[in-house]
């Protein structure tokens, strides 16, 4: 998991490099069941 500060830096970078009208597709995966990790 990323800290809130690192997440903010990543989002700032998304906005910096996206062209006007550009789209960003992303996903986040988290395992809540320890048996799955």
Name residues whose C-beta falls within 8 Å of residue 15's C-beta, 6 or more positions apart in sequence. Answer: none
Give me the pLDDT at residue 12, please.
94
Give me the pLDDT at residue 17, please.
95
* Cα–Cα distance, 37 to 33 (Å, whole number): 7
Tokens representing 9 are 């830096």
pLDDT band at 37, cuts 50/70/90? low
Tokens representing 37 are 């990790």
* Cα–Cα distance, 26 to 10 (Å, whole number): 12
Structural domain that includes position 29: 4-36
Q: How many domains does the chain have?
A: 1
DSSP 32: -
The stretch 5-28 carries a mean pLDDT of 90
């Amino acid at each position: 998991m990323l800290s809130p500060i690192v997440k903010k830096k990543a989002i700032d970078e998304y906005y910096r490099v996206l062209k006007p009208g550009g789209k960003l597709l992303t996903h986040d995966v988290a395992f809540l069941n320890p048996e799955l990790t």
